[in-house]
Chains A and B, each alone.
Chain A
Amino acid sequence: MIKVAHLTKRFVQQVAVDDLSFTIEPGEVVGFLGPNGAGKSTTMKMLTGFLQPCEGSVSICGFDIGKQTLQAQRQIGYLPEGAPCYGDMTVADFLSFIAQIRGYRGRELKQRVARAVALVELEQVVEQSIDTLSKGFKRRVGLAQAVLHEPKVLILDEPTDGLDPNQKHQVRKLIKSLAVDRIVIISTHILEEVSALCTRAMLISQGRLLVDETPYALHSRSRYHQAVTLLAEQPLDRQLLQTLPGVLGLEDNPLDGSLTILAEPGQVIFPAVNQLIHAQGWQVRELEVERGRLDEVFRSLTRGDVA
């Protein structure tokens, strides 16, 4: 369990993290969301004991990161931003260095390294020096290093940044498989990742915690939550759609000529729209309900003009 209370970090020019408090239970996958410079990385650096907070406390599985730093750090696997590794070492040497630091020796060390290598599929590059690897492989070396000791707490700063879609998928699968009974915290500004991966989304902006809820709840903040988008082959009677119960308004998407029907908050309009289409005999090529657009929620929340 992670307990964070009144965490604050001030740098010379600005307040990077401002009175952050939250608790995370095992089994949760938490996504830190927020614009660049919001304080996500700074928060992670304080959680892992790299930075000292100005105020507040962090407790990792009962160990205070400021006072029992080493015990707390043993519980954590951490992938810093950009996945820094010792470039002059080979993948095998680097991972066995980490394994030694984590206290493994002899056969167990070899097993741990082999398992971590297999987990992130690094087999083909184990004997290469890290400097010569591509960005995707480097990121995976960083991940392997973080999961090597099967930590109770996994903190990953932008784990899929710079990976191609296949690698992203693979990393997400890995994180999901690791999440059982553990705490996983990832930071990202890829919004789809939050809905694909996280059980809990924390939106941080200017060092403050704006929103702390499930990705679904975050979706439902969108004005597009429960909106129906349809692509018809003929002009529609807008008046009929507009007057359906629960409809807030209509929006044209000039790009593909489709029409989005917005729902009033808390209303479900899909059945009514569907009925109308059948009653009118409209030819509709596409018809879908939206969960809500995270990018729009993100923009409205972080810029302050809540829609």
Chain B
Amino acid sequence: MKQLPIIFRREFSSFFATPLAYVFLLIFLVLSSVFTFYLGNFYESGQANLNPFFNFHPWLYLFLVPALAMRMWAEERKSGTIELLMTLPITRFESVLGKFLAAWVFAGIALLLTFPMVLTVNYLGDPDNGAILTGYVGSWLLAGAYLSVGSCMSALAKNQVIAFILTVSLCFIFVLSGFALVLDAFNGWAPQWLLDAVASFSFLTRFQAISKGVIDLRDLLYFLSFITAWLMATAVVIDLKKAD
């Protein structure tokens, strides 16, 4: 556990060593506002809440978060530094979690930088700030879920572009797993309990519940166990693939 903060700091500052961090922040901030005001009809809806803002996050993250995650392990493997990292006295747990937390905190900072949105809606009306807070929590958890999938895919693929595409595809399935698009693939042959299980995996339904202002312990547990499971998968994949 002692090494975790050291790994975290190195990973976190490595975002800022390249233009990646700034490009990500800029695109995230611009797109999230554009979506809110143009596609989400923030003004026209005439309601003092941030639903138009949060509703687009699952879709915005679908392309931006995998870009954040894709280099996590793929680059280590490509440049060979994984051999250095794995022969230093660090546990697998510390390196996987350290890298993940660095990306997750970075995503959190991007999210916090959208604070003018909160100021705007408070200036225009009298919103339920509690609901806005849970919206932020939900959005951050969602980003974590995407990142954990991205972490595993990045460990799987040596090539960052492939890691990106795999992550986007998988996350897309998880976003929509409560909807006909995915469920139809199971309909007809799969038993009902499997159908229910798949449907309950949907990011979208879980996220919408939280962002409406209801923090259900089950939804929280869902995201946290989802992240844990994918990070454990990451550790397993690293052990299998590190030498390739």
| Residue A282 is within 8 A (CB to CB) of chain B in the complex | no
Contacting pair B81 A84 (CB below 8 A) = yes
Contacting pair B87 A49 (CB below 8 A) = yes
B contacts, CB < 8 Å to A: 2-3, 6, 10, 13-14, 17-18, 79-81, 83-84, 86-91, 239, 242-243
CB distance from B243 to the nearest CB of A (A): 6
**CA A52 to CA B83, docked complex, whole Å:** 13
Chain B hits for A111, CB < 8 A: none
Contacting pair B243 A89 (CB below 8 A) = no
Contacting pair B18 A45 (CB below 8 A) = no
Contacting pair A86 B87 (CB below 8 A) = no
Contacting pair A70 B89 (CB below 8 A) = yes
Chain B hits for A97, CB < 8 A: 6, 10
The listed residue (B14, B242, B243) touching A86 by CB distance below 8 A is: B14
**CA A45 to CA B243, docked complex, whole Å:** 9
Given A50-B243, A101-B90, verify A84-B84 contact (CB < 8 Å): yes
Chain A hits for B79, CB < 8 A: 84, 87
Q: Nearest residue in B to A94 (C-beta to C-beta)?
A: B10
Q: Nearest residue in B to A129 (C-beta to C-beta)?
A: B17
Question: When each residue 73-99 of chain A gets 1 if its CB lies under 8 Å from chain B and 0 otherwise, what string results?
Answer: 110101011101111110001000110
**CA A76 to CA B87, docked complex, whole Å:** 9
The listed residue (A49, A74, A76) touching B86 by CB distance below 8 A is: A49
**CA A85 to CA B13, docked complex, whole Å:** 15
Contact sample, A vs B, 15 pairs, CB 8 Å cutoff: A45-B83, A45-B243, A50-B243, A71-B89, A76-B87, A78-B84, A78-B87, A80-B83, A80-B84, A81-B83, A86-B10, A89-B10, A93-B13, A97-B6, A100-B6
Chain B hits for A78, CB < 8 A: 84, 87
**CA A86 to CA B75, docked complex, whole Å:** 10
Chain A hits for B88, CB < 8 A: 73, 98, 101-102
| Residue A59 is within 8 A (CB to CB) of chain B in the complex | no
Chain B hits for A102, CB < 8 A: 88-89
Chain A hits for B80, CB < 8 A: 80-82, 84
Task: Give the A-B contact count at a CB cut-off of 8 A.
Answer: 62
Contacting pair A88 B243 (CB below 8 A) = no
Q: Nearest residue in A to B91 (C-beta to C-beta)?
A: A70
Majority DSSP secondary structure for residues of B touching A: helix
A contacts, CB < 8 Å to B: 45, 48-52, 70-71, 73-74, 76, 78, 80-82, 84-89, 93, 97-98, 100-103, 129, 145
**CA A40 to CA B88, docked complex, whole Å:** 20
**CA A104 to CA B239, docked complex, whole Å:** 28
Chain A hits for B84, CB < 8 A: 78, 80, 84-85, 145
Given A51-B243, A97-B6, A97-B10, verify A80-B89 contact (CB < 8 Å): no
CB distance from B5 to the nearest CB of A (A): 9
Chain A hits for B14, CB < 8 A: 86, 88-89
Contacting pair A74 B89 (CB below 8 A) = yes
**CA A101 to CA B2, docked complex, whole Å:** 9
The listed residue (A52, A86, A93, A101) touching B89 by CB distance below 8 A is: A101
Contacting pair B17 A80 (CB below 8 A) = no
CB distance from A90 to the nearest CB of B (A): 9
Chain B hits for A145, CB < 8 A: 84
Question: Which 3 A-B pairs give the minimum distances between C-beta atoms?
Answer: A84-B80, A88-B17, A80-B83
CB distance from A99 to the nearest CB of B (A): 10
The listed residue (B10, B17, B86, B90) touching A50 by CB distance below 8 A is: B86
CB distance from A119 to the nearest CB of B (A): 19
CB distance from B91 to the nearest CB of A (A): 7
Chain A hits for B243, CB < 8 A: 45, 50-51
The listed residue (B3, B18, B81) touching A101 by CB distance below 8 A is: B3
Chain B hits for A84, CB < 8 A: 79-81, 83-84
Contacting pair A73 B81 (CB below 8 A) = no
Contacting pair A80 B87 (CB below 8 A) = yes
Chain A hits for B6, CB < 8 A: 97, 100-101
**CA A240 to CA B91, docked complex, whole Å:** 71
**CA A81 to CA B10, docked complex, whole Å:** 23
Given A88-B17, A89-B17, A101-B3, verify A50-B89 contact (CB < 8 Å): no
Chain B hits for A89, CB < 8 A: 10, 14, 17
Chain A hits for B89, CB < 8 A: 70-71, 73-74, 101-102
**CA A45 to CA B82, docked complex, whole Å:** 12
**CA A170 to CA B6, docked complex, whole Å:** 32
